[in-house]
Chain A
Amino acid sequence: MTDISTYAPMTMARKVDVSSSAAKARIRARYRSEALFKSYGIAALVVTGAFLVMLLTNILMNGLPSFWQHSLKLDVPLTASDIDPTGKGDLKEIAAGDFAAVARKALEAQFPGVDGRSELKTLSRLISVGAGDELRQTVLANPKLIGQTVQSRLLLEANSDLYLKGNGGGISARTARGIATPTGTTGTIKILTSANDFSDDFQKSKSLLAARAAVLSTEAARLERANTPDSLVKAKAARDEAAVFKARYAQPAQVEKLDDRMPSTLVEINGGLVKVEQILDTEIEGRVLIPLRSTDDAKAGDWKIVTYVTPESNRKTTDLEIAFLERLKAGGKVENHFNTLFFTAGDSRDPELAGVRGAIVGTVLTLLVTLGLCLPIGVMAAVYLEQFAPKNRLTGLIEVNINNLAAVPSIVFGLLGLAVFLNYFNLPRSAPLVGGLVLALLVLPTIIIASRAALKAVPPSIKEAALGVGASHQQAVFHHVLPLAMPGIMTGTIIGMAHALGETAPLLMIGMVAFIVDVPKGLVDAATVLPVQIYLWSDLPEPAFKAKTAGAIVVLLGVLFLMNGLAIWLRKKFERRW
């Protein structure tokens, strides 16, 4: 061995050392760094995946409820006096008939004792202004129904719908122990009970007052510390109010008034509903929301105390509305059904009547214009630049500019569209034609770049083979190179179109942001597109439009996934080995 080791440095200059501890340390370090790199990748994937899942669940949770809608299923008497006052059976007159009144009357029939003006008004506000539309369609299809009673679906107003979807806060009810005696059936009445059934709510109202007084005191202290003339005035007011509250809760036996900043307490008795306004352990005074059948005593277990947990001032639906809706729900008159209107209607100011059809049709028309312009121009430009153009400074300049155009902010294209298409060519505003033109400008660079990459990826041997058998340059390109580049071109085009589908900013500039109710019928009709519709709805104050916004996002994402799926499918289908 010693012989060899002395010769080794001469005969073999270097030998890979595999057994020394330094070598082992090197191997360990290599493994460690590989494992580390792998774990970075996995961590990145996990984080991305988690965010994606979070985003999707959030969107779906917000958006999916808007695909369902609550309606009332009621027996509607089709009274001739409302629908066809002249009695001639003329379809035009029937179409102009007051179906809203018919719907309203059908709803009022559900609450026989309710006859106050404001109560009736509240009742009619529960259903949508378009509640009669379905009735109208039914009657127009079959005018013989006039005078008969049909069962029909009456669309609920958006806030009622939201309440029924569970955005109204909780309701708790408990059966009372004593025997209750109401003093009247309508108006303001008193209810006396033989047990102290109301003591819980009574105590709760006192403790709420205490809490409120405490908050006011803290606020007053803060204002006093600020020590400006203005804040001192406010501090005094707060102190005074706190003192009033203090005086009220300091006397445990005194009657307490409930206001709309406390949970609403109601008494369900004798088929009616009374909203508690003043409360004691054994007695309440309140306003009748739904009239009582009689003033008979109600036995223990026959009457209930209901609490709407969210204070009235914190919710969109009033106690009266909740009372009506809960009564209708208990009567099995409420139906939750798939919201077909969302997909068949155009935009509307009333959330329950608003749909995405107009936006979808507008999107399709716009994208058709974009595709029709982009695909031929983009592909031909790419073919020319990649295969035919002489390589000189001019084509170099064009190439650089195309690449730069792909990075230009989209709103700039909108400005260009405004200046050129609208102002110079006097094309109509808000039209899918102009939208398509503007988006075509936006997508063109993307398609040219993708197509050029796809053309470049075709092995030159294929073109040489074609030239070798005597094909002209053009034949070689169009018979062999272009078909092989087609999957790549298709993918690039669809990704470009998906980009166009999500584009809002340039369309705002050319007026596609207008409120458009009608579904567009042609390329020059006023229209809007899905992302702009989302933008419009997200800006509206009604809470129901929030759900609509999320719903429209789900639709947009669905369309996007569909397009990307198509891109993948096309790629797989036309992908060829060479």
Chain B
Amino acid sequence: MDTMSTTPSIATQVGAANMSTAASHNGKVTARDVNVYYGDKHALKSVSVDIPDRSVTSFIGPSGCGKSTFLRCINRMNDTIASCRVTGKIEIDGQDIYDPSLDVVQLRARVGMVFQKPNPFPKSIYENVAYGPRIHGLATSKSELDEIVNASLEKAGLWKEVKDRLQESGTGLSGGQQQRLCIARAVAVGPEVILMDEPCSALDPIATAKVEELIDELRQNFCIIIVTHSMQQAARVSQRTAFFHLGTLVEEGKTTDIFTKPLDKRTQDYITGRTG
């Protein structure tokens, strides 16, 4: 757990993102030579990347480039696809998450996920948030559980809007509220990493702005990885950006660098709109 020593030092500053590639093996999540196959299709080719804690890293790239695939490798969501095969090594805090002795359920408790389409459970708002803590035994009493729900909704910036109707159905909320409820649900389990798979693609600009604001706040406590199709969004919310193309990680670096002085021709073509 040598990486632990570095994490406190980059605690809250925006500067965390400036930890540059030099600190590459000190990342919260490190991937080495990750290959993913869907049956015969080689979807992700030898991806190696380090993702720092307490910052937002965005994955960009054209459709089908493997960014979502890679994201889903980080909490082993790809396990649910029978034909999917992963090789290489992904570590969180130095622990190999594909180690057979590791319990995938515990991993997913440490690595939360927010999906493209808001998918609250068709249950009450309270139940939506309380479900994770309950199955993981995070609360020993009702009041403790209330507290977790309260804090999670607060963190997701939803508390003020829903505090009077916690028992109403989560599916009755607006799209943006639903997505923030999903974020609250992910936060409630107390994860270290939060994966977001195009979290704003189904939302209108105002809801998107709120969620982006929320992501920026969450950055102070979590390692956030976001897949997005909107380069503006990547530029707005993330400190680091990784560009994927045809299954390979083309370039990874500080967001400002990627968008202003990309090293690779393909990156440049993509961000200037010539491919994609």
Could you tell me which A residues sit within 8 Å of B by CB distance? 390-391, 459, 461-462, 464-473, 475, 479-480, 484, 576-578
Leading 5 A-B pairs by shortest Cβ distance: A470-B109, A469-B132, A461-B119, A468-B113, A470-B108
Chain A residues within 8 Å of B171, by CB: 576-578
Interface size in chain B (residues, C-beta < 8 A): 27
Chain B residues within 8 Å of A576, by CB: 122, 171
Instruction: Please state if A468 and B115 are interface contacts (CB–CB under 8 Å).
Output: yes
| Nearest CB in chain B to that of A464: its residue | B115
Compute how far the CA of A428 lies from the CA of B65 in the bound complex, rounded to whole angstroms. Answer: 67
Chain B residues within 8 Å of A464, by CB: 77, 80, 113, 115, 119
Instruction: Please state if B115 and A461 are interface contacts (CB–CB under 8 Å).
Output: yes
B120 contacts the other chain (CB 8 A): yes
Instruction: Please state if A391 and B77 are interface contacts (CB–CB under 8 Å).
Output: no
Instruction: Please state if A470 and B119 are interface contacts (CB–CB under 8 Å).
Output: no
B75 contacts the other chain (CB 8 A): yes
Instruction: Please state if B108 and A468 are interface contacts (CB–CB under 8 Å).
Output: yes
The segment from B139-147, B181-189, B203-211, B252-260 that touches chain A is: B181-189
Chain A residues within 8 Å of B182, by CB: 465
Chain A residues within 8 Å of B112, by CB: 468-469
B82 contacts the other chain (CB 8 A): yes
B131 contacts the other chain (CB 8 A): yes
Could you tell me which B residues sit within 8 Å of A by CB distance? 75, 77, 80, 82, 105-106, 108-109, 112-115, 117, 119-122, 131-132, 135-136, 171, 182, 185-186, 188-189
CB distance from B199 to the nearest CB of A (A): 12
Instruction: Please state if B105 and A468 are interface contacts (CB–CB under 8 Å).
Output: no
Compute how far the CA of A479 lies from the CA of B80 in the bound complex, rounded to whole angstroms. Answer: 18
Mostly helix, strand, loop or mixed at chain A's interface?
helix
Compute how far the CA of A464 lies from the CA of B186 in the bound complex, rounded to whole angstroms. Answer: 12
Instruction: Please state if A391 and B105 are interface contacts (CB–CB under 8 Å).
Output: no
Compute how far the CA of A167 lies from the CA of B182 in the bound complex, rounded to whole angstroms. Answer: 73
Chain B residues within 8 Å of A470, by CB: 105-106, 108-109, 132, 135-136, 189
Q: Which of B77, B82, B105, B121 sits near A390, CB closer than 8 Å? A: B82
Count chain A CB atoms within 10 A of each CB in B77, B135, B136 and give the residue with the most: B135
CB distance from B252 to the nearest CB of A (A): 25
Count chain A CB atoms within 10 A of each CB in B75, B82, B122, B189 and give the residue with the most: B122
CB distance from A459 to the nearest CB of B (A): 8
Count chain B CB atoms within 10 A of each CB in A470, A577, A578 and give the residue with the most: A470
Compute how far the CA of A465 lies from the CA of B121 in the bound complex, rounded to whole angstroms. Answer: 8
CB distance from B180 to the nearest CB of A (A): 14
| Nearest CB in chain A to that of B136: its residue | A470
| Nearest CB in chain B to that of A471: its residue | B135
Instruction: Please state if A465 and B77 are interface contacts (CB–CB under 8 Å).
Output: no
Compute how far the CA of A39 lies from the CA of B70 in the bound complex, rounded to whole angstroms. Answer: 55
| Nearest CB in chain A to that of B182: its residue | A465
Instruction: Please state if B122 and A479 are interface contacts (CB–CB under 8 Å).
Output: no
Known: A464-B119, A479-B131, A578-B122. A469 touches B105 (CB 8 A): no
7 CB-based A-B contacts, threshold 8 Å: A461-B115, A464-B77, A465-B115, A465-B120, A468-B113, A469-B112, A576-B171
Compute how far the CA of A459 lies from the CA of B115 in the bound complex, rounded to whole angstroms. Answer: 13
Count chain B CB atoms within 10 A of each CB in A459, A471, A484 and give the residue with the most: A471
Known: A469-B186, A471-B135, A475-B135. A462 touches B119 (CB 8 A): yes
Instruction: Please state if B122 and A467 are interface contacts (CB–CB under 8 Å).
Output: no
| Nearest CB in chain A to that of B117: its residue | A461
Compute how far the CA of A466 lies from the CA of B114 in the bound complex, rounded to whole angstroms. Answer: 11
Compute how far the CA of A412 lies from the CA of B198 in the bound complex, rounded to whole angstroms. Answer: 55
Instruction: Please state if B77 and A468 are interface contacts (CB–CB under 8 Å).
Output: yes
CB distance from B131 to the nearest CB of A (A): 6
CB distance from A387 to the nearest CB of B (A): 10
Instruction: Please state if B131 and A469 are interface contacts (CB–CB under 8 Å).
Output: yes
Compute how far the CA of A480 lies from the CA of B188 in the bound complex, rounded to whole angstroms. Answer: 18
Compute how far the CA of A475 lies from the CA of B132 in the bound complex, rounded to whole angstroms. Answer: 11
Instruction: Please state if B77 and A472 are interface contacts (CB–CB under 8 Å).
Output: no
